Amino acid sequence: MIQDYTILVDKISKASGKEREEIDRLVEAKRARLSGLISREGAAQIVAAELGISFDKAKVKINEIMPGMRRVNVVGRIVQVFPVRDFKKNDREGRVANLVIADETGNIKVVLWDTNHILLVDKKEIKEEDVVEIRNANLRNTELHLSAFSDIKKTGEKMENVKLDKEYFERKIIELSLGGNFKTRAVVVQVFEPKFFEVCPECKSRVLNGVDGYVCQKHGKVMPEKRVLISIVLDDGSSSMRAILFTEQIEKLGFKQEDLQPEIFFEKRQDLLGREAYFAGNIRQNKLFNNLEFFVSDIQNIDIEKLIEVLEK
C-alpha cells in the first residue's frame, strides 16, 4: 500500500497535469481546513477525488494501493498460502482462505471468501510461486478481500524479484486499526511488570503444565523455553495505546535477563520512561477488555540526521 506521500503526490500530479508543488499546496490547505485531523495521505486522496481522479479501475503495483480503494486490480506472485479454515460468527458460517502476494514494490495479504475462489486453493489450482491477477478486490484495513464479484486467476507472467520483507505503514496512533501492520514514532509513558511463561521449543506456542510435565498440543511432552512479555503504554500526541513486547523486543530496549528480576526491574524501568523510538508491529483486539493492542515485532532507534533530512524534504 502507498505509505510514501511523495509517491501519492506524483501519481496525482501525473494524472491531473498539475505541478507537484501545486498538489502539495492543495493538500496542506485541505489539512488546514480540517484542523490537521487528517494525515497528508488522507488529504491527498480527498484532493485527488476533488480533481476527478480515481485509481480504482487502473491496474496498480502493491505499493500504489491506497486506503479506501474498492476495486483494486493487481498482479502478484503468491509467496505464502495459509490452510483454509472454517469460521462461525453470529449467524454466519463458512470457509475462508488467506494468502500473501508480492511484486517488486511490496506484499499484501489476500482474503478469499467466495467458495469458487477457495476451491482453487483446495485443488491447488493456485499455489505458492504462481503469478495471479486479481480484479475488483476490496481493501479492508491493509488486506485485499475478494468477494463473489471479484476475480483471481493464474497468469503466464514471470515475476522473479519480489519484495518479501513485511510492510509496515507509518501512521499516528489515532490512525491505527485492527489487523494492520504499522510503524509509529512514539514515547513510552508507562511500563508494567514483566510476565513469564513457557513455550514449546518447536512451534513457540504456549504449553500446559500437566501431571507429567509440560505438554504442547502439537508436539506432546516437551522441555519448554522460558519467555517473557512486558506491557507498555505508547503515546505520540495523537493518542495512546497499550503495546506488548516479547523477549526479542525487550532485549532491543537494553534489558538483559537479570534486569527483569523484581528488585532490579523497578529501577531499570525508570530509564525506559520517556524513551522515544519507532515501534513496528500489528494491531490485535484484546477480547477480555475489548480494546486494541499493539503487538510490537520491531523497535528502531530514531536517527536524528535521517529524520532532519526527511523533514527538510
**Chain segment 178-225, per-residue pLDDT in tens:** 777 889 999 999 999 888 888 888 877 888 888 888 988 878 888 998
Quote the pLDDT of residue 133.
Answer: 96
- Mean pLDDT, the chain, rounded, equals 86
Quote the pLDDT of residue 307.
Answer: 62
Q: Do domains 55-164 and 169-312 have the same CATH topology?
A: yes
In the CATH scheme, what architecture does the domain 55-164 have?
Beta Barrel (2.40)
Quote the pLDDT of residue 233.
Answer: 96
Quote the pLDDT of residue 303.
Answer: 72
Quote the pLDDT of residue 65.
Answer: 81
C-alpha cell at 207: 504449553
Q: Which amino acid is at 301?
A: N
Quote the pLDDT of residue 67.
Answer: 66
pLDDT-flagged residues of the chain (< 50): 2
Quote the pLDDT of residue 309.
Answer: 67
Quote the pLDDT of residue 136.
Answer: 92
Where in the chain are the domains?
1-53, 55-164, 169-312
Quote the pLDDT of residue 217.
Answer: 81
Put simply, whether the predicted model's pTM sits higher than 0.85 gets the answer: no
Q: How many degrees, rounded to 5, is the angle at CA 242 between CA 241 and CA 246? A: 135
- CATH superfamily placement of domain 169-312: Nucleic acid-binding proteins (2.40.50.140)
Are the beta carbons of 154 and 132 closer than 8 angstroms?
yes
